[in-house]
């Protein structure tokens, strides 16, 4: 299986450098609360006199406008001196519109805001926890331990499965692992990414979701790029169709698609395969991909007929043979599977070095050719080990 194209570092949109936002100074907070409290007292006093008819409406309006003008002047001066606050603007606006109610509400809200500000996580730290910088040395060490071949047989630095990192690692280790899986994505990693979407830490969930979105977008962008090149006549129709088919194939086996989206991609790829094979009927790779799409679509009978027709016309390859037998097996046509395995076994033997050993041995058994001594001894060992484990478990149960 081909490996999906890798993503560049820039595709992850991780922050390069961020400057922490300074918190409010004590002097600014004290000045704001003092002015807001004074304005609230004046507004309440004016409203009380007006309601008791101790002040006429014009005088009340003049004092109210004076308070608003003072707050607006203070807000403007504080902004020009670099000490302005958004709350000052809200205080001026709400006081002008709602009088003492607006002033009191803004004062209460500002108290809650400053109290929250003291214990809140700074934005820079929060953002960094969501999208960590994967170029730091710690992440490089994790990468070396996880994927470097020289550590595969090392006793001091054993390979740690990605799923174990997700279960038992720290938040930083989980984030580092997800970044690596996204940059070096393969369909086998999809289960880990999906599991990361259920992690208890929010930053891990967000990073996994963002990564899967980036992978999906990468395939879509590649298809759009191919369409643009084809419209500009930079590539021929057959080249365009084959590139789309291969891109869809990688997309299908990326492991990130849900069933509905996968069905859409399979349909798109199937139509492209039919169109391409009218022009290039001898392309074995596309013939194989088309048959496999039919099988994955649940059309086992059509897939078997397609592979059988290809073999009869001389379009043969190890993958076509293997997946033809797979179609017969899934349909339960075991008699036909034995007949075809026997009929085509001489051709299959020519591809013996290409087949995976276990696949070749299974075909050999279906063809009635027996089993290799080495494989048989391994099966016997596994069987004896399994029987021994069952016997030991039984004895322990009886003792208990």
Residue with the larger pLDDT of the pair 53 and 6: 53
Please indicate, yes or no, if residue 82 is contained in any of the structural domains.
yes
Rg (CA), the chain: 35
Residue with the larger pLDDT of the pair 138 and 184: 184
Please indicate, yes or no, if residue 238 is contained in any of the structural domains.
no
Please indicate, yes or no, if residue 269 is contained in any of the structural domains.
no
Q: In terms of domains, do 133 and 117 share one? A: no
pLDDT band per the 50, 70, 90 thresholds, residue 53: confident
State pLDDT tens for residues 269-302. Answer: 999 999 999 999 889 899 999 999 999 888 889 9
State pLDDT tens for residues 165-176. Answer: 777 778 888 888
**In this structure, what DSSP letter does residue 20 have?**
P
Q: Which of 44-53, 264-273, 317-326, 366-375 has the lowest mean pLDDT?
A: 366-375
pLDDT of residue 272: 92
Residue with the larger pLDDT of the pair 74 and 120: 74
State pLDDT tens for residues 317-336. Answer: 888 888 889 899 988 989 99
Range of the domain at 311: 283-369
d(CA 181, CA 12): 12
Q: Which of 212, 242, 259 is the last residue of a domain?
A: 212
pLDDT of residue 175: 81
d(CA 190, CA 178): 10
Q: Which of 241-245, 249-253, 315-319, 386-390 has the lowest mean pLDDT?
A: 386-390
Average pLDDT over residues 136-157: 49
Q: How many independent structural domains does the chain possess?
A: 3
Q: What is the mean pLDDT of the chain?
A: 75
Q: Which of 182, 212, 242 is the last residue of a domain?
A: 212
Q: In terms of domains, do 159 and 205 share one? A: yes
* DSSP track, 58-71: HHHHHHHHHHHHHH
d(CA 132, CA 203): 10
* DSSP track, 125-147: HHHHHHS--TTSHHHHHHHHHHH
pLDDT of residue 153: 44
Taken in order 333, 359, 256, 302, is the CA torsion positive or negative? negative
How many CA atoms lie less than 13 Å away from 391 in the CB half-sphere?
A: 6
Residue with the larger pLDDT of the pair 304 and 352: 304
pLDDT of residue 243: 92
Q: In terms of domains, do 32 and 93 share one? A: yes
d(CA 181, CA 370): 42
* DSSP track, 137-187: HHHHHHHHHHH-GGGTT-SSS----HHHHHHHS-HHHHHHHHHHHHHT--G
- Within 10 A of 373 (CB to CB), how many other CB atoms are there? 8
Q: Is the per-residue pLDDT at 377 higher than 60?
A: no
Residue carrying the six token digits 């309440």: 44
Average pLDDT over residues 59-71: 85
d(CA 14, CA 232): 34
List the structure tokens of 283: 């392309």
Q: Is the per-residue pLDDT at 230 higher than 60?
A: yes
List the structure tokens of 278: 């009218």
Average pLDDT over residues 247-265: 84
Q: In terms of domains, do 141 and 202 share one? A: yes
Kindly report whether the global pTM for this prediction surpasses the value 0.85. no
Q: Which of 74, 105, 121 is the last residue of a domain?
A: 121
Q: How far is the CA of 93 from the CAs of 20, 73, 106, 111, 307, in angstroms?
A: 29, 12, 10, 18, 75
List the structure tokens of 246: 């291969």
pLDDT band per the 50, 70, 90 thresholds, residue 142: low
Taken in order 74, 75, 76, 82, is the CA torsion positive or negative? positive
d(CA 203, CA 80): 38
pLDDT of residue 385: 46
Q: Is the per-residue pLDDT at 89 higher than 70?
A: yes
pLDDT of residue 137: 52
Please indicate, yes or no, if residue 17 is contained in any of the structural domains.
no
Residues near 264 by beta carbon (within 8 Å), at least 6 away in sequence: none
């Amino acid at each position: 299986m081909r490996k999906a194209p890798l993503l560049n570092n820039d595709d992850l949109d991780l922050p390069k450098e961020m400057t922490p936002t300074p918190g409010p100074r004590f002097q600014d907070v004290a000045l704001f609360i003092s002015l807001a409290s004074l304005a609230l007292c004046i507004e309440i006093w004016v409203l009380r006199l007006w309601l008791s008819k101790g002040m006429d409406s014009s005088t009340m309006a003049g004092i109210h406008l004076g308070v608003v003008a003072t707050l607006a002047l203070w807000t403007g001066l504080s902004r020009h001196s670099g000490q302005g606050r958004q709350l000052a603007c809200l205080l001026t606006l709400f006081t002008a519109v709602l009088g003492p109610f607006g002033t009191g509400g803004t004062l209460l809200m500002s108290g809650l805001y400053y109290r929250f500000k003291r214990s809140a996580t700074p934005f820079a730290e929060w953002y960094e926890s969501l999208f960590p910088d994967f170029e730091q040395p710690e992440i490089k060490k994790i990468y070396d331990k996880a994927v470097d071949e020289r550590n595969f047989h090392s006793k001091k630095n054993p390979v740690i499965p990605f799923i174990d990192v997700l279960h038992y690692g720290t938040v930083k280790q989980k984030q580092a692992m997800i970044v690596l899986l996204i940059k070096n994505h393969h369909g086998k990693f999809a289960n880990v990414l999906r599991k990361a979407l259920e992690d208890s830490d929010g930053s891990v969930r967000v990073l996994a979701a963002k990564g899967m979105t980036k992978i999906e977008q990468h395939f879509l962008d590649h298809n759009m790029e191919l369409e643009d090149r084809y419209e500009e006549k930079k590539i021929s129709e057959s080249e365009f169709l084959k590139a789309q088919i291969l891109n869809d194939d990688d997309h299908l086996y990326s492991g990130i698609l849900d069933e509905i989206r996968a069905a859409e991609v399979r349909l798109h790829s199937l139509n492209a395969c039919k169109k391409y094979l009218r022009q290039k009927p001898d392309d074995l790779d596309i013939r194989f991909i088309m048959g496999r799409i039919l099988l994955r679509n649940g059309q086992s009978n059509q897939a078997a007929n397609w592979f059988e027709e290809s073999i009869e016309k001389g379009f043969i390859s190890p993958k076509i043979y293997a997946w033809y037998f797979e179609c017969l097996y899934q349909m339960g046509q075991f008699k036909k599977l034995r007949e075809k395995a026997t009929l085509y076994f001489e051709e299959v033997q020519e591809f013996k070095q290409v087949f995976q050993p276990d696949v070749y041995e299974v075909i050999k058994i279906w063809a009635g050719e027996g089993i290799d001594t080495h494989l048989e001894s391994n099966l016997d060992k596994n069987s004896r080990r399994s029987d021994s484990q069952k016997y030991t478990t039984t004895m322990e149960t009886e003792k208990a």
